[in-house]
Structure 1
Amino acid sequence: MKGNFIMAVRDISMGTKVGLELVTDKWNALTLSHLTATPTGFMTLRRQVRGISTLRLLTVLAKLTQLDLVISTDEYEYGLTAEGLKLQTGLANLEAWGNQVITEMQ
């Protein structure tokens, strides 16, 4: 890896801490990665996010909705807000960077 980057947790801004807490939870990240701007039915999403329990998915969706990243409809469908789409793009960029680092390490 290029250079060493070490930062104490106390040196990270509160916004960074909140963002990291959100995206380092695998269920948050997986749920965000399976949603689009077009709402998806709960059971479809439940099948796509493999391994998550129904209760956990409901909890994740409630949290993401509270953070204004996800919208829900009266028909139990869920989609990404504009902010959710931005975060999803950021996660895709992070994944691409991680894949590049892995490739360079080999």
Structure 2
Amino acid sequence: MVMRDLNIGTKVGLALLNDRWYALVLSNLGTEAVDFMVLRRRVRGLSTLKLLTVLAKMQQLGLISEEAHYQYRLTATGAELGQSLAELEAWGDRMIVGMR
């Protein structure tokens, strides 16, 4: 069977990870709740409104949850995606080293 296009799941995953703000938020959250202002300081160059928009979308996708007033953590699904992002980063690092 010839594959002419990516499946919808691949497209959704790539679109999310291709947007650096989603990937950075994902990388800066864990399973422990993080206060919004702490996250805001960790993810530099992002406006408060854009961060709130990214967090809302990630909540809608089930990747994060709001634990208390403006405290966020990864859900099991978000942690799984975070692990995939870490593996992709490790692969990229190996490729960069191999190209030297």
TM class by shorter-chain length?
over 0.9
Percent of aligned pairs sharing the same letter: 54
Separation in 1, partners of 2:49, 2:40: 10
Once the two structures are TM-superposed, the CA of residue 83 in structure 1 deviates from its matched residue by 0.4
State the AA in 1 paired with 2:31: A
- TM-score between the two structures when normalised by the length of structure 1: 0.89
Would you say how many aligned residue pairs link Structure 1 and Structure 2? Answer: 98
Structure 1: unaligned runs, 5 residues or longer:
1-7
Kindly report structure 1 stretches of 4+ aligned residues shifted beyond 3 Å: none
State the AA in 1 paired with 2:7: S
Asked if residue 96 in structure 1 is aligned to residue 90 in structure 2, the reply is yes
Structure 2 match to 1:23: 17
Once the two structures are TM-superposed, the CA of residue 74 in structure 1 deviates from its matched residue by 3.6
Asked if residue 69 in structure 1 is aligned to residue 63 in structure 2, the reply is yes
Separation in 2, partners of 1:93, 1:67: 21
Asked if residue 55 in structure 1 is aligned to residue 49 in structure 2, the reply is yes
Aligned-residue RMSD, C-alpha: 1.1
Once the two structures are TM-superposed, the CA of residue 75 in structure 1 deviates from its matched residue by 1.7
